[in-house]
Amino acid sequence: MHLNKTQILAVEESAHRLLIIAGAGTGKTAVITQRIAYLTQKKGIPSRDILALTFTNKAAKEMQIRAISIASELERTTFTTFHSFGAKFLREYGKVMGLYRYFTIYDDQDQLALLKRLYPSEPKKQLLEWRHLINKAKDYALSLEELDNYTHNIEEFRAMFDDYQQTLRANQAVDFGDLILLPLQILEQYPLIKAEQEQRWHAILVDEYQDTNRTQSALLQKLVGKATYLTVVGDEDQSIYAFRGADTTAILEFDTIFPETKMIKLEQNYRSHQHILHIANYLIDKNINRLGKRLFTENSSQKPVEFHTFTDEIEETKWIINQIKANALYKNRTTAILYRTNAQSRIFEKYLTQEQIPYKLVGAMRFFEREEIKTAIAGLTLLINPYDTVAFRRILTTPSRGVGAKSIEKIEDLQKELKESSLIDSAIQAKLPSKARVSIEKIALTYQALQNQLEENSPLKTLLATLLHELELFQHYQEKDQEEGSDRLENLQELLSALSFYPTGKDGLIAFLESLQLNQQPEEDQEQTTLNLITIHNTKGLEYDCVFLTGMEQHLFPKINTHSRNIVEELEEERRLCYVAITRAREELYVTHAQQRTLYGERRYQQPSQFLQEAYLSEDVTLHHHDVEAQNNGDHIYYIGRWVRDEEYGVGKILKTHHTRAGHLTLTIQFKERIATFFPQFRQLEPIVFDGLEEF
């Protein structure tokens, strides 16, 4: 690859503070990886003293692969996510805050379980709200005064927050927010550790900087010393993590935080064809909150982008799969089927399996969120963190072992009194009913055996097998599979085989648990397939020859809550997400939507996404309708809620459909000025495929 002039300037820039702002596909990641190579080769910075940070595990991995292909010595460079970095940091330095090396990482489900235990009589809505506020407080590093703006009752929130924090610490657990906030606090409070870190990293490079939240940006500030080369690259149009506290102020305020920042802009896109880039530019232009930059490409324009309309999601799926089959897209080229929500992958999986087309499901239905996996993880967690009450409760109650809520409370209370004693030891000492006692003794024996295995460096796989067997979890989930037709045993099997990639002992186990908790898929055999099923959020920084962007329907994408107070911001965020999706495509882009879809168990009529309209440019897009049946039966074209255009009255929305006794369809339509009823047979009503949001 021959870098262009501006890219070379960016790679070789001598300033210690460098901000690169650039649109999708302009070579931001390429520049970062080249700059890492440049810093090691020309500036003599040892490759292991370089830290490269980004947001998804997949992006970190991708960056590492690219870097190593430039210079093999970059194997020693740390490519990681902010959260993994935080976890690693805490395992090393957390003890200054009383955090045990083998702490547990709680995801949002665990957070909720903990809150539920603290406040059993509060409604779930309240708990969800509190969880949201807790995360917000941590992601934004909010002070109490600032928090006051978000809650009606700051006193109540504060008391809750204190309870929550105390319990987390007593459990030797941290949540995702803590993974960033605690390292930040440690660096603030311990100058020696800060000095050590400043010297540790001679260069820090951050990709996808637009996704940093306030706490992450503060952490970054603390890691950087005077002599550290700091390079950040970002694109405000691709900021899609507002829900985790990221906003574009990170980019806008960069040079305030770091004086003497050199700024470079890249505008030439190397990834996508003209047509694709045009519609991406056109769409993102609808956002008001942006710095505004225009991308251009010298790539020739080839196939126009195709917009396809289907009667329902089954037709949509079948057509896509036919396309993939007919063009052997699963082996010749990299291809991705993109969707807004995880649940949409199911139907593609079903038909791909039927057609025996190999595919890879990327980061979807998070593996570790499955019930059986959570239980297995809880079992392993308890082995290295004997204070984790969330894990303990899970083991005590799955399957039901005759240990009631009262007994559990007694045990936990006793443990608080005894302090140093583990939960299981406390359970042995607690006064419990005889049934509970028998169960506890069995569990204690099992853990004793597991502890021995761990110390003897038995393979982790053996450990987990013992655990599942002795605690009757195999049996429990086998029964469940028989009842529900689920495949929980198979998932446990997968977990077992994933474990064989990890070293033995406590450190191997912690590495394994961390990889799951930080939402990576466990290590797997790298299956050779080029077809990916992936949510748009997970495609950050990636690219494919051919992209199918599916389910482009109002309420599905953009997925916004029409009652929300921040509807404008939310819509803009969804639009950025759509921009990310479009700009993943190199050569071919197919955008599809269905007129009906089963969502959350309900059959619904779907309006086309407003983004179709907003990205539609006649010279770059061709339209395709697949509603063959509709030709014969007006019901399919004209349904309630659909927009049509009438020569005389203009644009209107169908309010009612009705069949006369003779079987003729009539439509009652709300136009801007009037309501009118027609026989569509006799009146030229043009269904509008794309409509705006505004209602009149």
- For the annotated binding site, the residues are 22-29
Report helix, strand or coil for 544: strand
Instruction: Mark whether 207 is an active-site residue.
Output: yes
CB 29, min distance to ligand ATP, A? 3
Listed ranges 2-10, 73-81, 376-384, 491-499: which one lies at the site for ligand ATP (CB under 6 A): 2-10
**Six token digits for residue 445:** 């024996």
Based on the shown chain and the rule CB under 6 A, indicate whether residue 541 belongs to the binding site for ligand ATP.
yes
Reported as type and span, the H/E element at residue 344 is none
Question: CA–CA separation, 496 vs 500, rounded Å?
Answer: 7
Instruction: Mark whether 574 is an active-site residue.
Output: no
Contact call for residues 643 and 652 (beta carbons, < 8 A)? yes
Instruction: Mark whether 646 is an active-site residue.
Output: no
CA neighbor of 461 nearest in space, from 508, 406, 429, 402: 508
Based on the shown chain and the rule CB under 5 A, indicate whether residue 28 belongs to the binding site for Mg ion.
yes
Phi, psi of 366 (to 5 degrees): -60, 125
Based on the shown chain and the rule CB under 6 A, indicate whether residue 27 belongs to the binding site for ligand ATP.
yes
Listed ranges 25-33, 94-102, 153-161, 334-342: which one lies at the site for ligand ATP (CB under 6 A): 25-33
104-106 and 360-362 as β-strands: parallel, antiparallel, unpaired? unpaired
Of residues 108 and 267, the one with the C-beta less far from ligand ATP: 267
- Sequence-distant (≥ 6) Cβ neighbours of residue 478 within 8 angstroms: 489
CB 534, min distance to Mg ion, A? 16
426 binds, among ligand ATP, Mg ion, none (CB under 5 to 8 A by kind): none
Listed ranges 26-34, 118-126, 129-137, 513-521: which one lies at the site for ligand ATP (CB under 6 A): 26-34
Chain centre to alpha carbon of residue 403: 36
CB 24, min distance to Mg ion, A? 8
Question: CA–CA separation, 423 vs 428, rounded Å?
Answer: 9
- Considering only 26, 77, 171, 453, the residue that binds ligand ATP (CB under 6 A) is 26
**Residue among 7, 29, 309, 520 flagged as catalytic:** 29
- Considering only 4, 341, 529, 657, the residue that binds ligand ATP (CB under 6 A) is 4
**Residue among 208, 247, 543, 574 flagged as catalytic:** 208
Bridge partners of 533, per DSSP, are: 337, 361
17-22 and 621-625 as β-strands: parallel, antiparallel, unpaired? unpaired
Q: What is 215-264 written as a DSSP string?
A: HHHHHHHHH--TT-EEEEEE-GGG---GGGTB-THHHHTHHHHSSS-EEE
CB 683, min distance to ligand ATP, A? 47
Contact call for residues 204 and 223 (beta carbons, < 8 A)? yes
111 binds, among Mg ion, ligand ATP, none (CB under 5 to 8 A by kind): none
- Considering only 16, 28, 136, 576, the residue that binds ligand ATP (CB under 6 A) is 28
615 binds, among Mg ion, ligand ATP, none (CB under 5 to 8 A by kind): none
Chain centre to alpha carbon of residue 97: 29
Residue numbers belonging to the annotated binding site for ATP: 22-29
Instruction: Mark whether 29 is an active-site residue.
Output: yes
Contact call for residues 615 and 283 (beta carbons, < 8 A)? yes
**Residue among 49, 110, 207, 372 flagged as catalytic:** 207
- Considering only 19, 30, 50, 223, the residue that binds ligand ATP (CB under 6 A) is 30
Contact call for residues 112 and 128 (beta carbons, < 8 A)? yes
Contact call for residues 565 and 523 (beta carbons, < 8 A)? no
Based on the shown chain and the rule CB under 6 A, indicate whether residue 235 belongs to the binding site for ligand ATP.
yes
Instruction: Mark whether 125 is an active-site residue.
Output: no
Chain centre to alpha carbon of residue 128: 19
Provide the residue count of the chain. Answer: 696
CB 632, min distance to ligand ATP, A? 44
CB 364, min distance to ligand ATP, A? 20
26 binds, among ligand ATP, Mg ion, none (CB under 5 to 8 A by kind): ligand ATP
Based on the shown chain and the rule CB under 5 A, indicate whether residue 29 belongs to the binding site for Mg ion.
yes
271 binds, among Mg ion, ligand ATP, none (CB under 5 to 8 A by kind): ligand ATP
Of residues 11 and 471, the one with the C-beta less far from ligand ATP: 11
Number of H helices, E strands in the chain: 29, 21
Instruction: Mark whether 231 is an active-site residue.
Output: no
Based on the shown chain and the rule CB under 6 A, indicate whether residue 270 belongs to the binding site for ligand ATP.
yes
Of residues 2 and 603, the one with the C-beta less far from ligand ATP: 2
CA neighbor of 288 nearest in space, from 609, 576, 618, 581: 576
Site for Mg ion in 535-564 (CB under 5 A): 541
Chain centre to alpha carbon of residue 27: 23
CB 541, min distance to Mg ion, A? 4
Reported as type and span, the H/E element at residue 349 is helix 345-354
Residues with active-site annotation? 28-29, 207-208, 238, 584
Binding site for Mg ion (CB under 5 A): 28-29, 541
Binding site for ligand ATP (CB under 6 A): 1-4, 7, 22, 24-30, 235, 238, 270-271, 541, 543, 583
